[in-house]
Chains A and B, each alone.
Chain A
Amino acid sequence: MLQTFGSFVLFLRGMVSRTERFNVLWKRTIDEAILIGVDSVVIVSIVSAFIGAVTCVQIAYNLTNPLIPQSTIGYMVREMTILELAPTITSIVLAGKVGSSIAGGLGTMRITEQVSALEVMGINSASYLVFPRIMAALLMFPLLVILAMVLSILGGYLAGTLTNVMTAQDYIEGIRLDFVPYNITFALIKAVVFAFLVSGISSFKGFYTTGGALEVGAASTGAVTNSIIAILIADFALAALLL
């Protein structure tokens, strides 16, 4: 395990040493940002809207005490969404979609000698292939998390009002109650950390794939499971450190 961590650190160091020209990396980063960000908007929107809706309905189901105001439901949806569900669940979804794509793509390039072709040309393959993917993830994860926050709260609003568990006024009152702006900052810090973990781990698993198609599949699976475990550990560590 320690050896793997050491290899990961060396891999990251190799990526930032002897980098390719800025305009080449910038163009690659934009291309990757489209693949990671724009292509993930639909899945993130669906997942976050339904999580907000389900959270709202389930909190309403459990809050039966007439002494607790209905606005508490909106308050709890907001807190759960911003602090935990939007950054963590979105990142876990992206670990599945983006992580497997990164590992599979790099693994295929490795076994079909495309990575070797880059190296023979004198191009730093880690810098050319991995650096833009990590930068794109660092740019797009926070934006997707912000989208997830908005859609979760909107999903909660629609679920609460359409099923008549609460009024729109109560929900909006709850959403605005005791708002702490730092929570948004905290969620975005989590998004950046998770972005680095998902893109870094997936790139590492894909980049060092050896063998054939079976190993590429194994690398993708390993990338997803390792990324999710890393997200959960980092989630706890960040909560303990920053809250």
Chain B
Amino acid sequence: MIEVSNVEKSFNGTPVLKGVTCVFETGKCNLLLGGSGTGKSVLLQCIVGLMKPDIGSITFDGTVYTNNKIDIRQEIRRKIGMLFQGSALFDSMTVAQNVEFPLQMLTPEMSVAERRERVEFCLKRVGLENAGNKMPAEISGGMKKRVGIARAIAPNCTYLFCDEPNSGLDPATSIKIDELIHEITHEYNITTVIVTHDMNSVIEIGEHIIFLHQGRKLWDGTKEEILNAPVPELRDFIFSSSLVRAAKRIDEETEGGMAAFAEESESGGGI
């Protein structure tokens, strides 16, 4: 479990995060939802340690991360896997070498055979068992995201962070990536935090959703609760999509159709 307590962050005097307090639960897909420029990615970068919050603290399973000793921070960082928006694969390495890289660096006690076995397992898990020898430039955007996920889970991460995993992908591939993240979260019981503004992801995998607006947390809850949330900013955000508006209209007309719709998507029906 990751606890964020009263985190504030400013850039050149402009506040971006204004006292955000929230909890990301273990074994669930936690979604950080919000429009562009609301501070989602900044909060994510504060949590993983790429930025330092001005005020507030972040705790990983009871261990304080912010302002702690470098050794403790390093120890926590080694349990973190992250999928970046642009995948951030190392250009000079093959797909298999990308996945093997964290194992080489973080687990020197592993033998070469053990590392290769783990790489094969991770690539197979994300459905890329035949792409190990390809270079990142030779694979599609969706495949890059899969490689990013394989690299993140290779060293048995406890916390998985995904920064807009669906950006630049077509709807069908987006759903596959969402499903993969959801499956991995439950399979390994990891704490997953996903930054998104994609309502499809909310419907698909939003087990715990935190809504940010102008640097503040305005609401948190589940995908079943989000459509009836009594927060005007959240309603404006959700219903800016004509698709969701139509779904909501059907929901009202069929008295609860939307809930069935969400349940159907959870059971693999998709949107």
Residue B80 CB within 8 A of the other chain: yes
Per-position 1/0 for B91-121, Cβ under 8 A of A:
1000000000010111010000000000000
Please state if B84 and A117 are interface contacts (CB–CB under 8 Å).
Answer: yes
Partner of B82, one of A18, A20, A120: A120
CB neighbours (8 Å) of A21 from chain B are 108
A110-127 to B contact mask, C-beta < 8 Å, 1/0: 001110110111110000
A1 contacts which chain B residues (CB < 8 A)? Answer: none
A122 x B50 contact (CB < 8 A): no
Q: Is A114 a contact of B91 with CB atoms below 8 Å? A: yes
B125 near A: Cβ within 8 Å?
Answer: no
- Given A114-B88, A116-B84, A117-B84, A122 contacting B106 (CB threshold 8 A): yes
Asked if B49 and A121 sit within 8 Å, CB to CB, the answer is no
On chain A, the residues within 8 Å of B86 by CB distance are 112-113
Q: By the criterion CB–CB under 8 Å, are B50 and A20 in contact?
A: no
* Cβ-based interface call for A24 (8 A): yes
Other-chain residue from A108, A112, A120 in contact with B77 (beta carbon distance below 8 A): A120
- In the complex, A122 Cα to B74 Cα: how many Å? 5
Alpha-carbon distance between A114 and B50 when the two chains are bound, in angstroms? 12
Given A112-B88, A114-B88, A114-B91, check contact A122 B78 (CB 8 Å).
Answer: yes
Total residues of chain A contacting the partner, CB 8 A:
15
Give the number of residues in B that approach A within 8 Å (Cβ atoms): 23
A18, A113, A123: which contacts B105 (Cβ < 8 A)?
A123
The verdict on A122 contacting B77 (CB below 8 Å), with A21-B108, A24-B105 known, is yes
> Is B90 among interface residues, defined by CB-CB distance under 8 A?
yes
Q: How far is the CA of A37 from the CA of B70 in the complex (A)?
A: 36
Known: A21-B108, A123-B105. A113 touches B77 (CB 8 A): no
Encode contact with B along A21-45: 1 for CB under 8 Å, 0 otherwise: 1001000000000000000000000
Least Cβ distance of A152 to chain B in Å?
34
Mark out the residues of chain A between 156 and 193 whose CB falls within 8 Å of any chain B CB in the assembled complex. Answer: none
Contacts of B102 in A (CB 8 A): 121
Closest residue of A by beta carbon distance from B45: A116
In the complex, the chain B residue whose C-beta lies closest to that of A123 is: B105
Interface residue from B49, B70, B104 paired with A119 (Cβ < 8 Å): B49
Q: Which residue of chain A has the shortest Cβ distance to B163 in the bound complex?
A: A113
Q: Decide: A114 and B90 in contact? CB cutoff 8 A.
A: yes
Asked if A18 and B70 sit within 8 Å, CB to CB, the answer is: yes
Instruction: Indicate if B184 sits at the interface (CB-CB under 8 A).
Output: no
- Contact call A119/B108, Cβ cutoff below 8 A: no
Residues in chain A near residue B77, CB distance under 8 A: 119-122
Task: Enumerate A170-219 residues with CB–CB distance to B below 8 Å.
Answer: none
A117 near B82 with CB under 8 A, answer: yes
B residues whose Cβ falls under 8 Å from a Cβ of A: 48-50, 70, 74-75, 77-78, 80, 82, 84-86, 88-91, 102, 104-106, 108, 161
28 A-B contacts, Cβ less than 8 Å apart? A18-B74, A20-B105, A24-B104, A24-B105, A108-B91, A112-B86, A112-B91, A114-B88, A114-B89, A114-B91, A116-B50, A116-B84, A116-B88, A117-B82, A117-B88, A117-B90, A119-B49, A119-B50, A119-B77, A120-B48, A120-B80, A120-B82, A121-B77, A121-B102, A121-B105, A121-B106, A122-B74, A122-B78
